[in-house]
Amino acid sequence: MPKWGMVIDLEKCTGCQACTTACSMENNTVPGESWQDVLFYQDGEYPSSSFNWLPRPCMQCENPSCVHVCPTKATYITDDGVVLIDWDKCIGCKYCMIACPYGVRFYTDEKPLLEPDVKNVFASDRGEAQSWAPPFQNPNEDWSKGIGIQPDGVVSKCTFCYHKISKAPEGVSDLDPRDPELVEYVPACVRTCAPEARYFGDLDNPDSHVNKLIGDKRGVRLKDETGNKPKVYYLTGEGGSIPAFTDRTKSS
């Protein structure tokens, strides 16, 4: 059984948000429900200010606090190490959102980010069972894995495109979007990344490209001190950085 993980090279990332768009299209998320986002950070003051960006999917932690706190086991971790949500069990208590150090979980029943509300524009006739009905709908709907159009009153998050990666041929060490035989199994964000800043593979396989990148380029994980052990690694190199929160309303 593989242990799927992702490597993101911050030196290569251009902040184009193609990954964010691809994720939104693939998984039918509404504006603001960014399972995958590229975050922008400005540090310092003119003339020595810097502008950084950080792609941020779900970290798919090895020891996920969201799984520990969920009172109904709606959030669970699969044998291949992907953290998923069973929408049939989720009671919408949002404790997992509180417990996630990375802010990558979203509640499907809240004020719209933009008006008009896209859920009203593409209104569903299935009531609470489907919060909206966009023109394209992920055909792999599976509520037990949190895949498809979200029902009301539950929490949603990135699945590492589980409907794709779970069908990958056995024994594959890396899901390389350049390989025509594997491209269909590659997560949407990795497949769309124009500068090829994202890599996806088996962290348990010592020969996988992702493992080599982590080893050779000193991959780091976000907020390791929380004990969650993310399976998303960042290659910061010389140009990239992982920013911390600063209250910019105060400094400005």
Partner 1 sequence: MTSTNQNTMVQPGKGLQIVAIILLVIGIIGLYPLMSEGGRAFNQGSALPWGLPVVTYAFLALGSFAVAIVNMLGVLTKQPGLCRLVRRNLMLSLGLSIGAVVALALELGHPLRSIWAIPLNMQIRSPLLWMGVFWSLYIISMLVALVWLRNSDNRLENRQGLALLILVTALGGLFTQGLVYGMMAMRPVWFGSATPLYFLIAALPLGLALMSLFTQISYGFRRDAMSPDVQALIGDLLPKYLLVAMAVYTLTWIARITTGLWTVQDGHHVVFEHMLGSGLFWFEAIVGIVLPLALLLFVRKPSVGISIVTGVAIIIGLFIARYEFVIGGQLVPLFKGSWEWGLIEYAPSMTEWMVTLTGAALAIVIYAFGERLLYGKPIHYQANQQAQKEAS
Judged by the rule CB under 8 A, the positions of this chain that interact with partner 1 are 32-33, 37, 39-42, 53-54, 56, 65, 68-74, 89-95, 97-107, 109-112, 152-155, 222-223, 225-227, 243-245, 247-250
Q: Minimal distance in Å, beta carbon 155 to partner 1? A: 8
Q: How far apart are CA 207 and CA 210, in angstroms?
A: 9
Question: Whose Cβ is closer to partner 1: residue 86's or residue 202's?
Answer: 86
Q: Minimal distance in Å, beta carbon 224 to partner 1? A: 12
Residue with tokens 């404790």: 95
Q: Which two tokens mark 196? A: 């090829």
Q: Minimal distance in Å, beta carbon 109 to partner 1? A: 3
Beta bridge partners of 83: 77
Question: Which residues touch 214 (CB under 8 Å, ≥6 apart)?
Answer: 7, 203, 233, 235
Question: Whose Cβ is closer to partner 1: residue 122's or residue 140's?
Answer: 122
Q: Minimal distance in Å, beta carbon 185 to partner 1? A: 27
Question: Whose Cβ is closer to partner 1: residue 178's or residue 250's?
Answer: 250
Q: How far apart are CA 6 and CA 221, in angstroms?
A: 11
Q: Minimal distance in Å, beta carbon 42 to partner 1? A: 7
Question: Whose Cβ is closer to partner 1: residue 29's or residue 208's?
Answer: 29
Q: Minimal distance in Å, beta carbon 251 to partner 1? A: 9
**CB hemisphere CA count around 128 (13 angstroms):** 6
Other CB atoms within a 10 A radius of the CB of residue 238 amount to 6
With beta carbons less than 8 A apart as the criterion, state whether 195 and 3 touch. no
Question: Whose Cβ is closer to partner 1: residue 35's or residue 185's?
Answer: 35
Cα end-to-end span (Å), the chain: 50
Question: Whose Cβ is closer to partner 1: residue 45's or residue 170's?
Answer: 45
